[in-house]
Copies of this chain bind each other. A is one copy, B any other.
Amino acid sequence: MIESLNQAFCALPGVGKKTAQRFVYHLLERDRNGGFELAKALVDAMEHVKHCASCRTLSEKELCNICTNNNRTSTQLCIVETPTDIHAIEQSGAYKGKYFVLSGYLSPIDGIGAAELGLDELEQKLRTQSVEEIILATNATIEGEVTAHYISNMCKQFNIRITRIAHGIPIGGELEYADINTIAHALSGRKDYD
């Protein structure tokens, strides 16, 4: 039972045996209530958190708070790889448009093509809604660049401005780890994508 719990914690990103053991002993010796609360929160979230029907971010409701916020312009659409990236951009306070969340990045070798990323939905969205600018905010990694390039090509059929956030974000780094000033800078310095 102790060992099973250890192993279950090890499935979390960045958690090794030693860290898992500290979690287990802490809960068992000092905070069993915290253990039960964590279990309950896990089941609640795993069962009820879905994806927003419009932008595909994680959401407890059919449509997320950003998609239903009328104070945000729908003419700008920022494309990110993960919901965490939205969180990072929101903290910078530098963006007031809407988002679209890919399911990661293009990776044909893993069977992740355009359809798996959600690009069909994106295309449909651009066809039916009046989007004026697409901001490509995929990560500054090779995969992120390839994905941005693919989306840019796809969007050329529409009369839309296509931009890429500026590379204030270190090359090879991931958006989620950038500080909010860097993110704000990268957004304001965005340039047309060729």
Binding site for B on A (CB under 8 A): 1-2, 4-5, 7-9, 11-14, 19, 21-29, 31-32, 34-46, 48-49, 58, 60, 82-84, 87
Contact of A1 among B28, B36, B48 (CB under 8 A): B48
Q: Shortest Cβ distance from A22 into chain B, in angstroms? A: 6
CA distance A181 to B45 in the complex (A): 43
Name 21 interchain pairs, CB-CB below 8 A, sorted by A. A1-B44, A2-B49, A2-B58, A2-B60, A8-B40, A12-B26, A12-B38, A13-B26, A21-B84, A25-B58, A25-B82, A25-B83, A27-B42, A29-B82, A35-B43, A35-B46, A36-B42, A36-B43, A38-B42, A39-B40, A39-B42
Number of copies: 2
Q: Shortest Cβ distance from A158 into chain B, in angstroms? A: 28
Q: Is the CB of A22 within 8 A of B84?
A: yes
Q: Which of chain B's residues have a CB closer than 8 A to the CB of A38? A: 5, 8-9, 11-12, 39, 42
CA distance A24 to B109 in the complex (A): 27
* Given the contacts A8-B37, A37-B8, A38-B9, A45 and B21 also touching, CB distance less than 8 Å: no
Q: Which of chain B's residues have a CB closer than 8 A to the CB of A9? A: 38
Q: Is the CB of B42 within 8 A of A46?
A: no
Q: Which of chain B's residues have a CB closer than 8 A to the CB of A8? A: 34, 37-38, 40-42
- Most chain B CB inside 10 Å of its own CB: which residue of A12, A49, A58, A60: A12
A sample of 4 more A-B contacts (CB under 8 A), given A8-B42, A21-B87, is: A8-B37, A27-B46, A32-B46, A39-B42
